[in-house]
Amino acid sequence: MTTGTPPVIRLDGVGRTHPGQPPVVALRPTDLTVHRGEYLAVTGPSGSGKSTLLHLLGLLDTPTTGRYELDGIDTASLRDRDRATLRGRRIGFVFQSFHLLPHRTAEENVVLAQVYNRTPARARRAAALAALRLVGLGHRTDALPSTLSGGERQRVAIARALVNRPSLLLCDEPTGNLDSANADAVLARFDDLHAQGFTLVVITHDPAVAARAGRRVAIRDGVLSEREGLPSEAEVPAR
């Protein structure tokens, strides 16, 4: 964390209520600050508000109350097009499902993540190769997803999320579709990325995944709170 640098995430009273009769409060007014280089895990049971928080942090939805600053930028003041541009440049997403194009190689899947980000065409391949090397797949650049293990496919997805050098890597149940060996391999990559200064926020129901993070918060009934200890299996059942 650099003195004078704004935090990657600053939530000031951010909440989300869905209209209806009666309205549904998905996230109660929340304060949260995540500084550059932090590794944060967010845990909670099904229906607790984890997905709502993910959508707000990822600029996929807008809060009904409060203020969200990403890298010091007030996101509420942005038009939809500007929010999409900010999301593409500053946030990398890793989901439980890999969402790789099956008939494209690992390299091509990563290259495509740059098409809408104004990366010059001549620079896209070099950036994709660098991202794949960063996740330990420099030797599988020409492989199709069908020939990769689950852990390798998730690492391609991580490379795709990293290729634009985002401020924030936002991960939603990133090991949910993996066996224990592949999950450990992916989490080891997260450890490496954290050591290199990347900012990670991981949404998870798994205490073992949360344990890898340097900081943990829990969400229940739309209320976010810092957690000193690890959540138990009983506290965070699978979704």
The pTM assigned to this predicted structure is 0.89
Give CA–CA dist 58/55, Å, rounded.
Answer: 5
| pLDDT beyond 70 at 159 | yes
For the cut 90, the answer to whether the pLDDT of residue 102 exceeds it is: yes
| Distance set, CA 79 to CA 85, 197, 226 (Å) | 10, 30, 32
- Report the alpha-carbon distance of residue 203 to residue 43 in Å, rounded: 6
Report the C-alpha gap between 121 and 124 in whole angstroms: 5
pLDDT for 32 = 96
Per-residue pLDDT tens digits for 17-26? 999 889 899 9
Distance CA 40, CA 19 (A): 30
Q: Tokens 């942090």 label which residue?
A: 57
Name 200's bridge partners: 39, 169
d(CA 157, CA 110): 8
Q: What's residue 199's pLDDT?
A: 97
Q: Distance between CA 235 and CA 239 in Å, rounded? A: 12
Percent of the chain with pLDDT over 70: 93
Band (pLDDT 50/70/90 cuts) for residue 164 is very high
| Mean pLDDT within 167-180 | 94
- pLDDT at position 45 is 86
Phi, psi dihedral angles at 55 (to 5 degrees): -65, -35
Q: Could you give phi then psi for residue 79, rounded to 5 degrees? A: -75, 165
Q: Give dist(CA 202, CA 213) in Å, integer.
A: 8
Domains parsed from the chain with CATH numbers: 9-227 (3.40.50.300)
CA-based radius of gyration for the chain: 18
